[in-house]
Structure 1
Amino acid sequence: MDVKTYWQHFKAHHPEITTDHYDAYAFGSSDATADLLAHLVKIGQKTATTSGVELYEADEPFPFVGEYNIILDAQGNPVCVTQTKVTETVPFDQVSQEHAYHEGEDDRTLSTWRKEHRAFFTREYQVAEQTFNDQIPCFCEVFEVVR
C-alpha cells in the first residue's frame, strides 16, 4: 500500500484525527537498518530518535509535538504510524541514558548509543562537509505508535 493510501486508511479508522499533515520516512542509512528500526518501532521497543540539528536543510521543518509520522521500511512501504510526544535539543554529550534506552537499539545503554551515534553522525557530517564533535546540537524526539 502506498503512503497516501495508508494515511487515508489510518484516518478512516481514527475519525478524531482531522489533520492531513504527516511526515513519512525510514530510519537509518542502509536498507538493513531501515528494516530493523521500522520493526523496533512497530513492536514498541523504539520510541525515540535523534537527529543532528545542523544536518536539517534550511527549509526542512523540525518535527513538532502532535505531529504524525508514517514509518517506512527499506522499500518505502508503510509499517506504522507514530505521533511525536516530546522534542528537545541538547548537545550530543548531554543526551540522557533515558533517551538512549528509548531509542531501543542494541543493548539500550548510553555508552553503546554514544558509540553507534558517534559513528553515524561522523559519517553524516562528513557527507554534509561538516565536522562532528561531542557538542553538536541533537534534536531528540520521543514518539508513540498509534497504529
Structure 2
Amino acid sequence: MADMGALPVGEYGTPGPLRDRLVAAILSGRKTATSSLYEEYRRFGEDLPQVGQREIVLDSHQHPVCLTETVAVEVLPVSDMKLDFALAEGEGFTSVDDWWAAHRTFWGSEDYRTHLGQPEIELDENTLVVCQWFRMLPLPSSR
C-alpha cells in the first residue's frame, strides 16, 4: 500500500458548499473528470497530472474522503472542449456553453484571481484548460 502522506492532495473548488457538492459527486461516481487552468500549473511551476497519479481528496473540513487515480490528461483551448468531458465533470452541465459559463465565473472570481496572484485573468476561447479524467478509489483500510 502506498504511503498516503506521500500522495498529493486534491482539493476541489473552495471549502464550503461548492467543495461539498464536488466531493459528493466524486463519491457517488457522477464526477469522473475535473478541469483546471493551465495558467495555474505554469504560474506555480507544477507538473501536469500524469496517468496513474493518485491524489487524496479532502472535504471542506480537510478530512481525507477517498483517492482519485488519473486515467487521462489533455490540455485544450476552451474552443476545443468536448461535451463528453463537460458531462463527466458531474456538475449537471448539459452543454459545453454551460460548462464554460460556470468555469469562467469560478476562474474569474476575486478569490481565484487572488490565489493566482493577479487581479485579472484573460478568459476566452483560447484559454488553455487541463482536462483530467480520473477514477475514484476508496481510502486504504488502516489495518
Report the TM-score when normalising by structure 1.
Answer: 0.80
The DSSP-based 3-state class of the residue aligned with 2:48 is coil
The DSSP-based 3-state class of the residue aligned with 2:20 is helix
For 2:132, give the aligned amino acid.
E
Which residue, out of 79, 84, 88, partners 2:65?
Answer: 79
8 A contact 1:54–1:137 mirrored in 2: yes
**Aligned-residue offset at 1:94:** 1.4
Structure 2 residue 22 is the aligned partner of structure 1 residue 37: yes
- Superposed CA deviations along residues 90-132 of structure 1, whole A, max 9, x for unmatched, are 0012110000000000244322111101111222664332322
For 1:97, give the aligned amino acid.
L
Structure 2 residue 124 is the aligned partner of structure 1 residue 133: yes
CA distance in 2 between counterparts of 1:136 and 1:125 reads 15
RMSD in angstroms over aligned alpha carbons? 2.1
Pick which of 117-126 and 133-142 moved more. 117-126
Give identity over the alignment, percent.
27
- Superposed CA deviations along residues 31-66 of structure 1, whole A, max 9, x for unmatched, are 111111011001110000000001224432221100
**Aligned-residue offset at 1:21:** 4.7
Counterparts of 1:88-127 in structure 2 under 5 Å? 88-123=74-109, 126-127=113-114
For 2:125, give the aligned amino acid.
D
In 2 relative to 1, CA 131–125 (structure 1 residues): closer, same or farther, beyond 3 Å? farther
Counterparts of 1:4-19 in structure 2 under 5 Å? 11=1
Ranges of 4+ aligned residues in structure 1 off by more than 4 Å: 17-21
5+ residue gaps, structure 1, are 1-10, 12-16
Report the TM-score when normalising by structure 2.
Answer: 0.82
**Aligned-residue offset at 1:84:** 0.2
